[in-house]
């Protein structure tokens, strides 16, 4: 509205009954809004100084008392302050809850209850009782992505910039959980970029996650043959050990599934001796707190035994285990198809046919053993989504296998592909949409292959 210049309060504000909001000033005094804005700026500046003690300015600050009102254009410092204030207020809990509702779709492997509690501790970002700055920053970025609040989405580049900066410095901190938390941050960033269609960045953070997972020995949890890693402290309880087991398989799932989506080989070659996966199949996260994981059991060659259809003591029937198995089979089917060549020698051709039949049986057996989403006891929305993804990928693995070059003109192969595609499309029709506001971004590739 246009100010009419009437003293002491302009007519427009007087008629609206908002004289206290009138910004009219005759130059002799400052408007109330200007005074409030200055107070806010002072509070923001103080918060910034408290969180950056090494950058603090002298206590006595000189200023020009007659300077004009500051520009409304945001400076980089003001953007940082906005970033800090958003997570220094009561908005933290709702945003954390928003993220945790769909955290499984970003590859979150930490215990949700513990993460929420530690996130809300009233200590500065980076304090050892809270998650690392890298992890919190990426979680906030993902929460921002999930909320799709128009007022906040405009700040997404700022949140992304801070998350990337903290992640790049994560391993240089003194935080006791820096390795595991930085690994979690890299996984979240990979899924974030894949969800945004930024595949180059997604591949980079996937490779970083695989490298960090291997170097920290997460593929050797409870190994019967290999020593424990020196990078990670001994787990304090079964829940922490469960987090590490989940971390191992979530990294493998991320690597395998997105390798297929990109038409490339995965970063992890489990057939190499130094990359063999001994870590057992994951339980549901809540089962570790219930004491369902044997404290003395040891394992070896878990992944190798699965792809070669060798039974193991742990059946791996949790939802995250089934998601991992489906992704592994999908990658095997994709790799199998790309290995075929019309120039194969007779012996190689026979070996190819034998390997094809074995993989086909393994995929069919896995599909038959998958628990339907509606039959799991006390399912959470995350468990339901994981099973939907696992079922879909398992059927896509069949499509991928029977789409191999030597079978592309085969009528029986075409029928099997169509049958698997129909199952995937039926899953889409029957999923409970109230729990699927967001789903693992790999499903875009899965649905495309089913069409």
Q: Write out 33-45 in H/E/C secondary structure.
A: HHHHHHHHHHHHH
More confident: 47 or 382: 382
Joined tokens for residue 167:
């992640």
5: left (phi over 0), alpha (psi -120 to 50) or beta: left
Start-to-end Cα distance in the chain: 55
Distance CA 313, CA 322 (A): 16
* pLDDT tens per residue, range 198-214: 999 999 999 999 999 99
Contact, 267 vs 288, CB < 8 A?
no
Closest CA to 221 of 193, 187, 245: 245
pLDDT greater than 80 at residue 9: no
Residue 299 bridge partners (DSSP): 223
Distance CA 183, CA 134 (A): 10
Give the pLDDT of residue 42: 55
Give the pLDDT of residue 8: 54
Distance CA 298, CA 241 (A): 13
pLDDT band at 63 (very low <50, low <70, confident <90, very high): very low
Distance CA 240, CA 235 (A): 5
Closest CA to 256 of 283, 231, 275: 275
Backbone angles phi, psi at 71, to 5 degrees: -65, 150
Task: Give the pTM.
Answer: 0.80
* pLDDT tens per residue, range 249-271: 999 999 999 999 999 999 998 77
* pLDDT tens per residue, range 75-114: 444 444 455 545 554 557 788 999 999 999 999 999 999 9
* pLDDT tens per residue, range 414-444: 999 999 999 999 988 888 777 788 999 999 9
Measure CA 129 to chain center.
22
pLDDT greater than 50 at residue 60: no
């Amino acid at each position: 509205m246009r100010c009419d210049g009437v003293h002491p309060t302009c007519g427009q504000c007087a008629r609206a009954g908002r004289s206290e909001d009138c910004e009219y000033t005759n130059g002799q005094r400052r408007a109330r809004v200007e005074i409030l804005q200055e107070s806010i700026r002072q509070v923001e500046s103080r918060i910034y100084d408290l969180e950056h003690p090494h950058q603090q300015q002298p206590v006595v600050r000189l200023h020009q008392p007659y300077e004009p009102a500051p520009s409304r254009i945001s400076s980089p410092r003001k953007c940082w302050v906005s970033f800090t204030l958003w997570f220094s207020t009561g908005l933290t809990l709702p945003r954390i809850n928003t993220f945790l509702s769909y955290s499984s779709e970003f590859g979150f492997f930490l215990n949700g209850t513990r993460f929420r509690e530690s996130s809300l501790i009233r200590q500065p970002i980076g304090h050892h009782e809270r998650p690392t700055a890298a992890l919190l920053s990426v979680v906030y970025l993902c929460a921002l992505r999930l909320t799709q609040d128009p007022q906040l989405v405009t700040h997404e580049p700022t949140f992304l910039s801070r998350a990337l900066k903290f992640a790049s410095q994560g391993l240089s901190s003194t935080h006791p959980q820096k390795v595991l938390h930085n690994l979690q941050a890299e996984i979240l960033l990979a899924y974030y970029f894949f969800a945004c269609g930024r595949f180059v960045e997604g591949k980079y953070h996937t490779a970083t996650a695989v490298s960090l997972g291997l170097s920290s020995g997460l593929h050797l949890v409870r190994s019967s043959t290999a020593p424990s890693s020196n990078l990670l402290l001994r787990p304090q309880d079964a829940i922490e050990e469960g987090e590490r087991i989940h971390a191992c398989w979530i990294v493998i799932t991320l690597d395998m599934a997105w390798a297929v989506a990109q038409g490339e080989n995965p970063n992890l070659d489990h057939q190499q001796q130094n990359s063999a996966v001994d870590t057992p199949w994951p339980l549901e996260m809540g089962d570790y707190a219930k004491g369902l994981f044997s404290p003395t059991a040891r394992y070896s060659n878990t992944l190798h035994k699965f792809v070669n259809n060798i039974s193991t003591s742990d059946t791996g029937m949790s939802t995250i285990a089934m998601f991992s198995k489906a992704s592994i089979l999908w990658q095997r089917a994709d790799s199998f198809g790309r290995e075929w060549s019309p120039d194969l020698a007779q012996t190689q051709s026979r070996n190819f046919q034998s390997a094809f039949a074995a993989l086909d049986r393994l995929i069919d057996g896995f599909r038959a053993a998958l628990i339907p989403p509606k039959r799991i006891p006390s399912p959470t929305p995350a468990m339901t989504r994981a099973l939907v993804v696992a079922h879909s990928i398992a059927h896509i693995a069949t499509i991928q296998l029977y789409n191999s070059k030597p079978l592309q003109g085969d009528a029986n192969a075409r029928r099997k592909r169509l049958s698997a595609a129909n199952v995937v499309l039926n899953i889409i029709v029957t999923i409970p949409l109230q729990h699927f506001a967001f789903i693992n971004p790999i499903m875009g590739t899965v649905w495309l292959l089913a069409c």
